[in-house]
Amino acid sequence: MIAVGDVAPDFEGITHENRRFRLSEARGKRPVVIFFYPGDFTPVCTTEACGFRAMREELSGLSFDLIGVSTDSLETHRRFAESYHLEFPLIEDDGQKIAALFGATNLVCCALKRAKRVTVVIDAEGRIAEIVRAELSARVHVDAARMALQRLSPVQNHA
């Protein structure tokens, strides 16, 4: 199980835009927010993704990557991103390999082949700065990620 202060496990995935994302490529450059969610187009997940979209716009003066991860297909991710104007990568986690690295699985999620709702904020050096686990509250995830990014930023953007 990962903990705050640990070096984040590296992973690679393909985004809904058919681009390769590798976590280690952000190391030494900028923070990364990874949010694991059960499924595209579900009520809480849609609220969460839209909340992260708004957070990204609000913190546009800060440099960070925002990545959504679920077991849904790249095609479903494409439709979800298009429907809700999500301008950040969504990665298909077939087999829950990425979710397992970050503790975003449990027996029920494995049986349903879904990720558990977990948000991880990783600092620019690749260490875990924040872990959020609140299964039914999208707002808790977005607010905690926002606060963590503001703490990590040398120049605060409160716009």
Q: What is the DSSP letter of 102?
A: T
Active site residue 45: yes
Count of CB atoms situated within 10 Å of the CB of 64: 22
Count of CB atoms situated within 10 Å of the CB of 94: 14
Tokens of 94: 């077939």
Of 45, 50, 109, 110, the catalytic one is: 45
- Pairing of β 118-122 and β 65-70: unpaired
What does the alpha-carbon distance between residue 80 and residue 150 come to, in Å, rounded to a whole number? Answer: 28
Active site amino acids: 45
